[in-house]
Amino acid sequence: MRISPEQKLIVAALSNEVFKGRTIRQEKPRCCERTIDLFNTPVRYRDVQVGNFIFTLFEPRCPECGRWVKPVYCILH
């Protein structure tokens, strides 16, 4: 499946905050014993509210089995 340049740009722009954030941090998405490459698979965006703040996380589709992988994250502060 071809991924649009716009989706790749959004993933690139949000990746640092999502995976290295100081308040909330998402684990790298995994399914079928593999880490999913977010630049080569469809991605939905899931908003999570923590207190008064809303954070956007990635929910990719597994390229192996086709299921949507819910984000796993931890709250740091």
Tens-digit pLDDT profile for the chain (77 aa)? 678 899 999 999 999 999 998 889 999 999 999 999 999 999 999 999 988 999 999 999 999 999 999 999 999 86
Structural domain that includes position 26: 5-75
Structure confidence at residue 72 (pLDDT): 95
- What pTM, to 2 d.p., does this model score? 0.86
Q: CB neighbours of 32 closer than 8 A, spacing ≥ 6?
A: 62, 64, 65
Q: State the Cα–Cα distance between residues 27 and 58, nearest whole angstrom.
A: 10
Contacts of 4 (CB under 8 A, 6+ apart): none
Number of domains in the chain: 1
pLDDT at residue 63, rounded to an integer: 94
